[in-house]
Structure 1
Amino acid sequence: MPPLSPRLIAAAVAFALAGPSVAAPAAAVFDPNELDPKISACSDFNGYANGKWIAANPIPADKTRWGAFDALREQSLAAQHKLAEAADASADKGQAGSIEQKIGWLYRSGMNEAAIDKAGYAPIQPELDAIARLKDRADVVTWLGKAFAEGNGVGFRFGPGADFKNASRQIAFAGQGGLGLPTPDYYTKDEHKAVREAYVTHLARLFELSGAKADEARRKADGVLAFETRLAKASLSRVELRDPKNQYHFVDLAAANKATPHFDWSAFFKHLGVAPGDGFSLSQPKFFAEFDAMLAGLPVAQWRDYLAAHTLDDAAPYLSRPFQEASFEFHDKTLNGQPEQRARWKRVLEAVNDAMGMALGQMYVKEYFPPSAKARAQQLVDNVNGAMKARLEKLDWMSEATRAKALEKWSTFLPKIGYPDKWREWNGLAIVPGDYFANLRAAAAFNYRYQLDKIGKPTDRYEWSMTPQTVNAYYSSGTNTINFPAAILQPPFFYADGDDAINFGGIGAVIGHESGHGFDDKGSQFDGAGNNENWWTKEDREKFDARTARLVAQFDGYVPLADHPDQHVNGKLTLGENIGDLGGLAFAYDAMKKAGEGKPDPKIDGLTREQRFFLSWARVWRGNIRDKAQLVLLNTDPHAPAKFRAIGAPSNMPAFAEAFGCKAGDAMVRDAGKQVKIW
């Protein structure tokens, strides 16, 4: 896909993992004074484990949320800041063309506020002028092809991916996009009317900043909203997009051109310098039918305004101060409730990560992640995945036919820990010391070319889509890999000197979570080779769906904001992550019990091994979030709010009730008829 600007990258993470030694000596890495004795663990486990910490740690003014993940991200960011500052200091005398020199000059150019302010919007004036010269539909189509080729595509998404029917090869995927608001619902539902009005005001402000008079700017902005509303009405929802059937629609060029007679895909591929092969995925046909109809029927002036609006909005964070302030006011403050802008160096580092994140990661690993940590993390991954296999072998509701296929998929899992075995090359990317916007544009084009060059090539299971300095983790269904970046392999997820209960309850559970994605509602529709194939018997699939339906109902019942009692968690949107949590916690619990077989419980601070396990899990999800940001995430994020992740899986586990002496009727003990057990 074309590179996204940093502010469009989802801030909410929900899965995490890994860390060293599973046989480390016990240590008091958990402070029992953080627990709230006034709250019963059986009635509100999140409040018991995290309430005192949340009360003592308010959300910083430059954040929309604050918790364990966010604190660790700040730690990673501080480490990256040191690396960038050092690279800047040595860049002029460093090795010509080295990643250190490129990072140093890129960071320096972003910190040169005087030069950026002096330039105003001149860096994008040539693009705006080119848009203003578009006279007919053919001009628009040509402009779109050139924009994508430069890494600045708009209107839809286009990039490489594993073929759903032959995952060993990479093909092109074209998918819906082109919206400036978070989801299609924001364009149609009454509850988002105020956001729509604020969006129009924001776009009008950008048009005025680039020279339009107030009345003209408002007219243009209104037209852009109407344009995007048509795209939104033809777009699938986030829940619908979870279904693989809605993610893949393979066509050859002739069929694609027939589907969009006013948009020539043959010419588009030529603009990109990509051979289409035997075809590509035109993933959402309804969307592209509407896109084509808009090409045919809308005035070119409305297309010009739409393209100019997105050019301005995407570029605003990297232009002069008035544009930066406009971007902050809408995207951060109005939409997500963030009171203050982040420090300049943090915003620049975000852009550096977007432009050269893997190069910065190479520097990060060298300084902060010793090779020994990778080996220790592998041991923990092996233990948790071994527990997962044992569960699959004993499932009482799964037939032998499906079980054999499940174990076959399990056997092909590829864990990737810390960082890539082979680093990317950055030869050909020209970075200069004094032109921030030109550097970012050059990086966007360079990175998009890197992505396009994958099309038609074999799928590389060993490639990473997250940088080592990212505090997160992920599962890829197209490669059947579980991936654990270096930055998350540390407290509070893993303690090198911590006891097994703490480490299995934290990082171990999230390792299990990532593996569990291979068998969630979406991942279970792909085989071990990454192909979208059904390996289930009809009866087993029905049993699986019945069990997951209970999990949907459980999370549908959660209401995160007292002031918005009508806003519930979307159990279908969050189903995959909730399956991952439930399975991951169970796998890690089994692994902990096995590691402790024949050993006395090393009771620490008056807490049993089992209690510390569940408390470690809850602590991973401690945090708070601003109401506006939570409302956005309820519509966009496939992860449930953190406080419900702390309690959701444990409330389904008899082991939790036993650990804390909970009884039937307690809030943390779900009724037998509603209790969910999948793996």
Structure 2
Amino acid sequence: MPRLRRSPLLLAIAASLSLTLSACGGDTPADAPQPQQQAAAEAPAKAQLGSFGFDASGMDRSVAAGDNFFDFANGSWVKNTEIPADRSRFGSFNVIAEKTQADTRAILEGAANNAQATGEDKLIGDYYAAYMDEAGIEQRGLAPVQPQLQAIEALADKAALARALGADVRADVDLLNATNFYTDRLLGLWVSVDLLQPERTAPYLVQGGLGMPDRDFYLGDGRMAALRKQYQDYVGQVLKLAGVADPAAKAQRIVALETRIAQAHVSQEETNDVAKGANPWTREDFSAKAPGMDWAAFLEASGLGQQQDFIVWQPKAVAGLSRLVATEPLEDWKDYLTFHALDRAAPYLPKTFADARFAFHGTALSGTPQQSDRWKRAVDDANHAVGEAIGKRYVEKHFDAKTKERADAMAKNIIAAFSKRIDGLEWMSPQTKASAKAKVAGLTVGMGYPETWRDYSGLEVKRDDPLGNAQRAEQFEYQRNLSKLGKAPDHGEWAMLPQTINAMNVPLENRLVFPAAILQPPFFDGAADDAVNYGAIGAVIGHEISHGFDNAGALFDDTGRLHNWWTPQDLQKFNAAGDALAAQFSSYEPFPGVHVNGRLSLGENIADVAGLGTAYDAYQLSLQGKPGQTLEGFTPDQRFFLGFAQAWRSKSREQALRNSLLTDVHAPGQFRALTVRNIDAWYPAFDVKEGQKLYLAPDKRVKVW
């Protein structure tokens, strides 16, 4: 229901992360679902891609590897692949997502069509069936959202407005879309480990309130000015569909208000700066540091009336938003709340609302020409609302014990390789090395699924109330998060679903998480060549390990506490390497005059460089001194680097790519694949010579770890 995106760093800090899993190779928990056994656990006889796990037909051998390694590895695939009409981008992640979505659909439809279903099977089946009941949705019309609209219309003063804004706060955690934080509610809330006192949980308040993805969409010119006009038209269209009087004028005032909200926001770069985000506030601080809002009314309505301590991630923005609550007309705020209530409800309202919403959010913003099939939207929505109940069944059906065992062993090997890399760092002092080694030694890994599963008892789901189901699920999740306050971290939950195609590092817990769904081709194939697997999922594992040592993760010690464990000289050298990498990525130019933001994407780029280097070392360790075999003319080193490039195979629509350059902490896939130019072994593997476009002199290759 909500539209939330967040950075892996903020995900790690503020997404209810308090699970400590067994280390690599640990036993399967007794209460967890057992992965498939026996025949299902046997690796397939043949790799799913090519003969050894790599799609050689997707290469473009007319391009020299040393000029453009992404095109060399993927050029024919890019030329011959059409982005599906319901996608803004398509690549390796999407290939897995399509399969996983279909697998999840079968689980949900099986539950929905089982008249004898009880417990969680009935819960997930009824949720899915309600979303799929288009005829019932059309018949009910606007009735499901009317109580909310009437409550907004009844707001009589700014104290009532503060209560409404407080009641609107949710624990906005979208387990499917972990990129940059974004919520259209005025303030977002996370409850997570306190980064200043890791032995307790804390509520984090963050900026929000925009209907478009970022402040730059409101403040920029050129393309952004055109998008603002389209957004204003969409706002007016939604109000008109709902029968609101004078929709065009109100739309103009709503967008003007959101523009002032955008002016109060801080930048993406500042949002991703941990040092600037660690701002402890007491309850009394809100009125003193952010006057304007009736904070007592806001906090009481949000369920935080008794909470005394907070972490405010963007204090300047919170102060600016509070000031706007006091200075902007009440009627403008009521119109703003009315629109956002309708916009959030649109997927559960008659088709005219859902289509209008997609026309802006899908087509205008991202260039996606066609809305996804209803069943795909239903799967995504159910995952957001009751995802772990679905995930438990996904693991039982689609995650085998042999995959988990092999991935655990690979992770253990890569962690060992990272530790050896620390030993070999010539520029790092013994003091800093000791702290880094302690952090590696304390690292834990969650592979596939959580040890314990979320309890959904108490959540009411009705087969004829899709909007109510989504709202009750959000409220249920919000209350579940509030219940953690005042307690020690739970150490019993994940912040990603097993059916999520992603992975994460949790600096606050010195922990890695690899959901079951990412352990599929092209990232991992039990029948594939080890070199390809190490280049693909191995580099992902190395990437997540390295996040604990990137420009943000390196600020946390082995206990997860925000603590500077560096000597000043070592930190200076580390930052210099980061500056060089930021400059390298900022030189990439997807469009004339438009560059990758190397500073915004620095953490991800550090993790890619260190992760790829670590995975390569781990692959060499796995050979145990034995020479690798050449397969179909490809040496082991070539297969390793090609596996890496294939994992980042992707293409995007222009609008989506331009948006990601502004808001995404990841560089586009075609540039992430160029990470290879910083790895010494890549040069002899493909005979890359001075004068080729990607060639870097040895002293210019960035060595972060």
TM-score over 0.5 (shorter chain): yes
Q: Which residue of 1 aligns with 2:607?
A: 580
- Name the CA distance, whole Å, in 2 between partners of 1:21 and 1:555: 42
Q: Which residue of 1 aligns with 2:680?
A: 654
Matching of residue 177 in structure 1 with residue 200 in structure 2: no
- Name the CA distance, whole Å, in 2 between partners of 1:461 and 1:376: 25
Query: For 1:386-413, what per-residue CA distance to the aligned partner results, in whole angstroms no more than 9, with x for missing partners?
Result: 0000001110111111111111111111
Q: Which residue of 2 aligns with 1:34?
A: 58
Maintained 8 Å contact 1:21/1:377: no
SS of the equivalent of 1:415 reads: strand
Matching of residue 87 in structure 1 with residue 87 in structure 2: no
Maintained 8 Å contact 1:21/1:380: no
Maintained 8 Å contact 1:415/1:481: yes
Q: Which residue of 1 aligns with 2:143?
A: 122
- Name the CA distance, whole Å, in 2 between partners of 1:12 and 1:326: 31
- Name the CA distance, whole Å, in 2 between partners of 1:264 and 1:170: 25
Higher mean displacement: 147-156 or 170-179: 147-156
SS of the equivalent of 2:198 reads: strand
- Name the CA distance, whole Å, in 2 between partners of 1:38 and 1:109: 52
One-letter code of the match for 2:237?
R
Q: Which residue of 1 aligns with 2:81?
A: 57
Matching of residue 69 in structure 1 with residue 93 in structure 2: yes
- Name the CA distance, whole Å, in 1 between partners of 2:353 and 2:406: 47
SS of the equivalent of 1:167 reads: coil
Q: Which residue of 2 aligns with 1:617?
A: 644
Q: Which residue of 2 aligns with 1:394?
A: 424
Maintained 8 Å contact 1:475/1:514: yes
Cα deviation for residue 281 of structure 1 reads 1.1
Maintained 8 Å contact 1:174/1:283: yes
Cα deviation for residue 131 of structure 1 reads 0.7
Cα deviation for residue 530 of structure 1 reads 1.5
1:267-346 maps to which residues of 2 (within 5 A)?
Answer: 267-274=297-304, 276-346=306-376
- Name the CA distance, whole Å, in 2 between partners of 1:675 and 1:188: 37
Matching of residue 159 in structure 1 with residue 190 in structure 2: yes
SS of the equivalent of 1:546 reads: helix
Match of 1:540 among 562, 567, 570: 570
SS of the equivalent of 2:548 reads: helix
Match of 1:205 among 237, 261, 284: 237
Matching of residue 43 in structure 1 with residue 73 in structure 2: no
Matching of residue 559 in structure 1 with residue 559 in structure 2: no
Query: For 1:153-174, what per-residue CA distance to the aligned partner results, in whole angstroms no more than 9, with x for missing partners?
Result: 8211122122121112111111
Match of 1:415 among 438, 445, 467: 445
SS of the equivalent of 2:456 reads: coil
1:623-662 maps to which residues of 2 (within 5 A)?
Answer: 623-647=650-674, 649-662=675-688
Higher mean displacement: 104-113 or 374-383: 374-383
Query: For 1:114-145, what per-residue CA distance to the aligned partner results, in whole angstroms no more than 9, with x for missing partners?
Result: 11112222211111111111121011012122
Maintained 8 Å contact 2:293/2:323: no
Higher mean displacement: 391-400 or 289-298: 289-298
- Name the CA distance, whole Å, in 2 between partners of 1:10 and 1:343: 25
Relative distance call for 1:293 and 1:12 in structure 2 (3 A) is closer
1:134-533 maps to which residues of 2 (within 5 A)?
Answer: 134-148=155-169, 154-191=185-222, 192-213=224-245, 216-274=246-304, 276-533=306-563
- Name the CA distance, whole Å, in 2 between partners of 1:644 and 1:380: 26
Q: Which residue of 1 aligns with 2:30?
A: none
SS of the equivalent of 1:158 reads: strand
Cα deviation for residue 457 of structure 1 reads 1.9
Query: For 1:218-257, what per-residue CA distance to the aligned partner results, in whole angstroms no more than 9, with x for missing partners?
Result: 1111111111111111111111111112222101111223
Cα deviation for residue 39 of structure 1 reads 1.5
One-letter code of the match for 1:607?
F
One-letter code of the match for 1:652?
N
Matching of residue 678 in structure 1 with residue 700 in structure 2: no
Q: Which runs of 5+ in 2 are unaligned?
A: 12-23, 26-40, 173-182
Relative distance call for 1:424 and 1:12 in structure 2 (3 A) is closer
Q: Which runs of 5+ in 1 are unaligned?
A: none
- Name the CA distance, whole Å, in 1 between partners of 2:258 and 2:249: 14
Query: For 1:370-400, what per-residue CA distance to the aligned partner results, in whole angstroms no more than 9, with x for missing partners?
Result: 3343222111100011000000111011111
SS of the equivalent of 1:36 reads: coil
Relative distance call for 1:30 and 1:293 in structure 2 (3 A) is closer
Higher mean displacement: 385-394 or 222-231: 222-231
Relative distance call for 1:11 and 1:276 in structure 2 (3 A) is closer
Identity of aligned residues (%): 39
Relative distance call for 1:440 and 1:373 in structure 2 (3 A) is same
Query: For 1:14-59, what per-residue CA distance to the aligned partner results, in whole angstroms no more than 9, with x for missing partners?
Result: x9xx99999x999622243333221111211111110111222210
One-letter code of the match for 2:349?
L
One-letter code of the match for 1:514?
E
Cα deviation for residue 600 of structure 1 reads 2.5
Maintained 8 Å contact 1:12/1:637: no
Matching of residue 133 in structure 1 with residue 154 in structure 2: yes
SS of the equivalent of 1:464 reads: coil
Relative distance call for 1:414 and 1:327 in structure 2 (3 A) is same
SS of the equivalent of 2:700 reads: coil
- Name the CA distance, whole Å, in 1 between partners of 2:667 and 2:167: 39
SS of the equivalent of 1:654 reads: coil
Maintained 8 Å contact 1:475/1:482: yes
Cα deviation for residue 434 of structure 1 reads 1.5
CA RMSD of aligned residues (A): 2.3
Query: For 1:558-585, what per-residue CA distance to the aligned partner results, in whole angstroms no more than 9, with x for missing partners?
Result: 1123xxx121100011001000100000
Matching of residue 99 in structure 1 with residue 130 in structure 2: no
Cα deviation for residue 199 of structure 1 reads 0.8
One-letter code of the match for 1:37?
R
Maintained 8 Å contact 1:251/1:281: yes
Relative distance call for 1:149 and 1:31 in structure 2 (3 A) is closer
Maintained 8 Å contact 2:162/2:297: no
SS of the equivalent of 1:416 reads: strand
- Name the CA distance, whole Å, in 2 between partners of 1:65 and 1:288: 34
- Name the CA distance, whole Å, in 1 between partners of 2:122 and 2:697: 60
- Name the CA distance, whole Å, in 2 between partners of 1:468 and 1:314: 26
Cα deviation for residue 635 of structure 1 reads 0.7
- Name the CA distance, whole Å, in 2 between partners of 1:668 and 1:317: 46
Cα deviation for residue 288 of structure 1 reads 1.9
One-letter code of the match for 2:679?
M
Cα deviation for residue 435 of structure 1 reads 1.4
One-letter code of the match for 1:628?
Q
Maintained 8 Å contact 2:185/2:210: no
Cα deviation for residue 8 of structure 1 reads 4.2
SS of the equivalent of 1:174 reads: strand
- Name the CA distance, whole Å, in 2 between partners of 1:468 and 1:201: 39
SS of the equivalent of 1:349 reads: helix
SS of the equivalent of 1:157 reads: strand
- Name the CA distance, whole Å, in 2 between partners of 1:134 and 1:269: 17
- Name the CA distance, whole Å, in 1 between partners of 2:333 and 2:559: 42
